[in-house]
Structure 1
Amino acid sequence: MVIHTLGENNSLFNRFIAEIRDVNVQNDPLRFRRNLERVGEIYAYEISKTLDFADQSVETPLGTAIASLPKDEVVVASILRAGLPLHNGLLNYFDRSENAFISAYRKHTEDGKFKINFEYISSPSIDGKVVILADPMLATGSSMELAYKAMLTKGTPKHVHIVSVIASQEGVDFIKNNLPAENTTIWNGVVDAELNTKSYIVPGCGDAGDLAFGAKLG
Structure 2
Amino acid sequence: MQIHNLSETPSILNTFISEIRDKVIQNDSMRFRRNIERIGEILGYELSKSLSFEAHNVSTPLGIANTTMHKNDIVLCSILRAGVPLHNGLLNYFDAAENAFISAYRQHKHNPESFEIVVEYLACPSIEGKTLILADPMLATGQSMVATFEALKPFGTPKEIHLVSVIGAQKGVDYVAKAFNAETHLWIAAIDDTLNDKGYIIPGLGDAGDLAFGIKLQQ
Q: TM-score, normalised by structure 1?
A: 0.97
1:45 aligns with 2:45: yes
Residue 14 of structure 2: aligned partner: 14
**Percent identity for Structure 1 against Structure 2:** 58
Whole-Å separation in 2 of the counterparts to 1:193 and 1:57: 47
Q: How many angstroms does 1:111 deviate by? A: 2.1
Q: Matched residues in 2 for 1:27 and 1:131: separation?
A: 33
Query: Aligned letter for 1:30?
Result: M
Structure 2: distance between partners of 1:88 and 1:192: 24
Over the aligned positions, Cα root-mean-square deviation in angstroms equals 0.9
CA deviation after TM superposition for structure 1 residue 36, in Å: 0.2
Q: Counterpart of 2:200?
A: 200
**Tell me, what secondary structure is at the counterpart of 1:181?**
coil
Which residue identity lines up with residue 131 of structure 1 in the other structure? Answer: L
| 1:170 maps onto 2:171 in alignment | yes
Tell me which amino acid in the other structure corresponds to 2:182.
A
The answer to whether the Cα contact below 8 Å between 2:140 and 2:172 also exists between their aligned partners in 1 is yes
What's the counterpart of residue 180 of structure 2?
179
The residue aligned with 1:120 is 121
| Residue in structure 2 matched with residue 85 of structure 1 by the alignment | 85
Q: Verify: 1:97 aligned to 2:97, yes or no.
A: yes
Kindly indicate whether the alpha-carbon contact (under 8 Å) linking 2:133 and 2:162 is maintained by their aligned counterparts in 1: yes
How far, CA to CA, are the matches of 2:187 and 2:212 in structure 1?
A: 21
Q: Is the partner of 1:45 in helix, strand or coil? A: helix
Is structure 2 residue 2 aligned with structure 1 residue 2?
Answer: yes
Do the aligned residues in 1 keep the contact of 2:162 with 2:186 (CA within 8 Å)? yes
Deviation, structure 1 residue 76: 1.0
Q: How many residues align?
A: 217
Of the structure 1 ranges 144-153 and 78-87, higher mean CA displacement relative to structure 2 is found in 144-153
Q: Which residue number corresponds to residue 216 of structure 1? A: 216
TM-aligned CA deviation for residue 110 of structure 1: 3.4
Letter in 1 for 2:101: F
AA matched with 1:82? A
Q: Normalising by structure 2, what TM-score?
A: 0.97
Contact kept, 8 Å, 2:43 with 2:189, in 1: the verdict is no
Q: Write out per-residue CA displacement over residues 28-81 of structure 1, whole angstroms, 9 at most, x where no aligned residue.
A: 000000000000000111111111111112111122222200011111110000
Gaps of 5+ in 1: none
Q: What amino acid does structure 2 have at the position aligned with 1:90?
A: L
1:155 maps to 2:156 = yes
Q: Is the 8 A contact 2:130 2:160 kept in 1?
A: yes
Structure 1 CA distance, aligned partners of 2:66 and 2:3? 33
Which residue does the alignment assign to 1:67?
67
User: Using the alignment, how far apart are the partners of 2:190 and 2:59 within structure 1?
Assistant: 43
Unaligned runs of 5+ in 2: none
How far 1:118 moved relative to its partner?
0.6
Structure 1 stretches of at least 4 aligned residues deviating more than 2 Å after TM superposition: none
Structure 1 residue 109 displacement after superposition? 2.0
